[in-house]
Amino acid sequence: MMNTKSVFREGDEVVLTDGTYQGTLGVFLRLRKDVNWADITERNGSVRSHPVVWMGHAEAIPASAN
Question: Per residue in 22-66, pLDDT tens?
Answer: 999 999 999 999 999 999 999 999 999 999 999 999 975 555 555
**Whole-number pLDDT of residue 65:** 53
Using a 10 angstrom Cβ sphere, with 0-12 exposed, 13-18 middle and 19 or more buried, the burial of residue 37 is middle
State pTM to two decimals: 0.79
Which has more confidence, 6 or 32?
32
Is 1's pLDDT higher than 80?
Answer: no
- CATH architecture for residues 4-57: Roll (2.30)
The amino acid that residue 41 corresponds to is T
Phi and psi (nearest 5°) for 4? Answer: -75, -20
pLDDT computed for residue 4 by the predictor: 45
What pLDDT is attached to residue 60? 56
